[in-house]
């Protein structure tokens, strides 16, 4: 059983193809990051998964139910799409009561959820008085109302301060440990890298990667960053490593060599043989952000 499974999902608006032939799977009980540049089709895909818009073609399943029958799975799905949306004249707690009543969820959970998202003291204040961060927290509380098996969050950390981001990250990790599948889109790739085991990456409406985050990062070319006791030796070292088939780039007092960390010993030996004393050899794996830019650039 998968939490999300889509095959050939496409959404077109006339000539504009917002999502093209998207195919990916999200296993149960994981945190899956959903990343892509602005306008790459993330929100459109999420809207199709939640049946807010109908796909032009393709199919999908959420919790093993077809997306053409949202009434079969949405009671087990919590979602926050395109930021929080509530009634400004109602209090935070009353807004949650509206959603809970509509979904048939117990109202007793509301104080507990407000506490979970750090709004326990502000539940009786009107929504219109909330800061962006508080609105975001209320949106997450609303998404948690159904006690979901699958949580779909679109940019949940927007407007949150670093402490708030850390709290949300901890909350999502805790939920995943409890067996909740979290499908989260965010432009904060460092956050996604920290919490996501799985990743779906979009570019111009097409899925360019889906799978384990680790797999993606390992797929990217690693580098070894080198510093020499004499900076002038780096130019010579660059020529040497180039000759043995490892392209290198001189950046100030550093030489960045395209090579796996396993080649570090050979590099050290090569430098020693040529009377170059290295003061630092650091293997560097590209971050998700660097990988993302490499994969999504034109």
Partner 1 sequence: MRIFRAEWRKLRRPTLFFGSMGAVVAVTALVVSLLFLLIDSEMGNADRGQRITRDILALPSGISIGFSSSAGLLGIVALCVFAAQTAQEYTYGTLRSLLVREPRRIRLLIGKYLSMGLFAFFTVMFSAITSVLLAFALSGIAKVSTNAWTTSEAWTNLFETFVNVLVSTFGYGTIGMVLGLLLRSPISSISIGVGWLFIVESILSIAWSPSGNWLPGSLLSVVASGGAPIGVTDVPSYSEAFIRVSAMITAAALVTGFMFKRRDVAS
Residue from 22, 77, 144, 248 in contact with partner 1 (CB under 8 A): 77
Task: Specify burial of residue 24 (Cβ count, 10 A radius: 0-12, 13-18, 19+).
Answer: buried
Dist CA 211 CA 30 (whole Å): 11
Between 133 and 286, whose beta carbon lies closer to partner 1?
A: 133
Residue from 85, 244, 249, 265 in contact with partner 1 (CB under 8 A): 85
Q: Which of residues 128-147 bind partner 1 (CB under 8 A)?
A: 142
- The verdict on 257 binding partner 1 (CB under 8 A) reads no
Give the containing element (helix H, strand E) for 102: helix 92-103
The Cα-based distances of 291 to 105, 190, 257 in angstroms read 41, 11, 17
Angle (CA) 252 277 280, round 5°? 55
Q: Shortest approach of partner 1 to residue 51 CB, angstroms?
A: 5
Between 42 and 169, whose beta carbon lies closer to partner 1?
A: 42
Q: Shortest approach of partner 1 to residue 133 CB, angstroms?
A: 18
Contact 216, 293 (CB under 8 A): no
- The verdict on 98 binding partner 1 (CB under 8 A) reads yes
User: What contacts 207, CB < 8 A, 6 or more positions away?
Assistant: 22, 23, 24, 200, 201
- The verdict on 86 binding partner 1 (CB under 8 A) reads yes
Between 85 and 253, whose beta carbon lies closer to partner 1?
A: 85
Reading the block at residue 134, the tokens are 């508080």
Site residues for partner 1 per CB under 8 A: 47, 50-54, 70-71, 74, 77, 79, 81-83, 85-90, 94, 97-99, 101-104, 142
């Amino acid at each position: 059983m998968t939490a999300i499974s889509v095959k050939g999902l496409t959404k077109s608006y006339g000539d504009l193809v917002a999502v093209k032939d998207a195919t990916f799977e999200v296993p149960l009980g994981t945190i899956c990051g959903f990343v892509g540049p602005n306008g790459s089709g993330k929100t459109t895909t999420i809207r199709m998964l939640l049946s807010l818009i109908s796909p032009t073609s393709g199919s999908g399943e959420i919790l093993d139910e077809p997306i053409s029958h949202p009434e079969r799975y949405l009671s087990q799905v919590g979602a926050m799409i395109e930021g929080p949306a509530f009634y400004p004249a109602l209090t935070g707690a009353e807004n949650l009561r509206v959603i809970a009543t509509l979904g048939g969820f117990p109202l007793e959970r509301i104080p507990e959820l407000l506490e979970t998202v750090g709004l326990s003291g502000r539940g009786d204040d009107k929504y219109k008085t909330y800061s962006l961060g508080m609105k975001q927290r209320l949106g997450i509380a609303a998404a948690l109302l159904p006690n979901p098996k699958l949580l779909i969050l679109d940019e949940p950390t927007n407007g949150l301060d670093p402490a708030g981001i850390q709290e949300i990250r901890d909350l999502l990790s805790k939920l995943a440990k409890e067996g909740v599948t979290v499908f989260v889109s965010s432009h904060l790739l460092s956050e996604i890298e920290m919490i996501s085991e799985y990743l779906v990456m979009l570019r111009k409406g097409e899925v360019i990667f889906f799978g384990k985050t680790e797999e993606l990062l390992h797929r990217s070319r690693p580098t070894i960053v080198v510093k020499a006791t004499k900076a002038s030796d780096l130019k010579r070292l660059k020529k040497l490593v180039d000759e043995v088939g490892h392209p290198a780039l001189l950046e100030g007092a550093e030489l960045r060599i395209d090579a796996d960390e396993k080649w570090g010993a050979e590099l050290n030996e090569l430098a020693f043989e040529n009377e170059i004393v290295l003061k630092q050899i650091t293997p560097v794996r590209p971050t998700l952000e660097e990988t993302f830019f490499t994969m999504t650039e034109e």
